[in-house]
Amino acid sequence: MANLVIDIGNTNIKLAVFNFDELSWVQSYKVVDEQVLNDILTGYKPDRAIISSVKKQYTETWEPYLSKHIPLVKFNADMAKLIKNHYRTPKTLGLDRLAAVAGAQALYPGKSSMVIDAGTCITYDWVDTDGSYFGGSISPGLQMRYKALSHYTGALPLLNADEHFTAHAGDDTQTAIHSGVQNGIRFEVEGFIAAYFKAQKPMNILLTGGDSIFFDTLLKNSIFAPHIKIEPYLVLSGLNAVIQQPND
C-alpha cells in the first residue's frame, strides 16, 4: 500500500511517498501544482493521501485535482490514535506537533521520546513510554531570533546563523549577536532536555525540522549528545502512521 503524505508548513510544502512504513521518495516545494502531483501519481502510483497543514485557513487549488484521483483525508486532532492526548485544548494543538509525537511513537514504540522541532519556531514535545502526551513548549526559531534583533532595534544588523561560531561571548557587535542567539538557543535546549530527563529516562531526543542539523552541531559537545537522533522526516512518518491505522 503506497501512501502520499503532504505536510503544509509555514514556509514549505513537503511531499513524501511511503510504501507501508518505508520512505520511497520525499521532496520539499515552495509551490505545488497539478503537474507536480501528476508526476507523483504517474511515477509512484500512491493508493491514498493525507494532508496536514499548520495554517488554520488554507485553500490549495490542487486539492480537488488530487481528490479526483485517489482517496484524500485531512489530518485532525482526533486521528492520532497512537497518542493518548492529554492536552487541555486538543483542538488548538498544532497538527505538526501532534504528527511529530505520533511519528516518535511509531518509530520508537514503548520508548520515551522528546521531540525538538527546529523550524520557524522551536517546539518541545514529549511522549512517554505509554504513548501519553501532556503538552510542550513553543519558542522563537533560529532565523526568527536574528530577524527580531534587527527589526526591533535601530542599529543591529540582520545576520544569518554562523555554524562556525563556537565562542562563549562576542567581541564585536556581530559576534555578540551570534553569541546571544546561538548560545541562547543551546542553553535553552539543554535546559529543556535536562528538565525532561528528570521526569523520565532513558529518553530519546529526536531532532527534526529545517534547522535540525544545525541544532545537532550546536549540541555536539553537550552531555546529552549520545541520546540525540536526527529524524528529518518525523512529521511525515507520523502522518504515514496515522493513515495506516484501521478505521473504527
Please check if 94 is assigned to a binding site.
Answer: yes
Burial 149-187 (b: 16+ CB within 10 A, else e): beeeeeebeebebeeebeeeeeeeeeeebbbebbbebbe
Please check if 13 is assigned to a binding site.
Answer: yes
Pinpoint the alpha helices (H) of the chain.
Answer: 34-44, 63-69, 95-107, 142-151, 173-178, 184-199, 212-218, 234-243
Please check if 10 is assigned to a binding site.
Answer: yes
Please check if 95 is assigned to a binding site.
Answer: yes
Please check if 61 is assigned to a binding site.
Answer: no
Contact 54, 6 (CB under 8 A): no
Q: What is the DSSP letter of 172?
A: S
96 is catalytic: yes
- Among candidate residues 96, 128, 172, 211, the one labeled active-site is 96
Please check if 91 is assigned to a binding site.
Answer: no
Please check if 39 is assigned to a binding site.
Answer: no
Please check if 117 is assigned to a binding site.
Answer: yes
Pinpoint the alpha helices (H) of 77-172.
Answer: 95-107, 142-151
C-alpha cell at 184: 541562547
Please check if 135 is assigned to a binding site.
Answer: no
Please check if 8 is assigned to a binding site.
Answer: yes
Please check if 120 is assigned to a binding site.
Answer: yes
Report how far residue 213's alpha carbon sits from residue 230's, in angstroms, rounded to the nearest whole number. Answer: 7
**DSSP β-ladder status, 48-53 and 228-230:** unpaired
Coil, strand or helix at 59: coil
Please give the positions annotated as active site: 96
- Known binding residues for K(+) are 117
- Known binding residues for ATP are 7-14, 120
- Known binding residues are 7-14, 87, 94-97, 117, 120, 173
- Known binding residues for substrate are 87, 94-97, 173
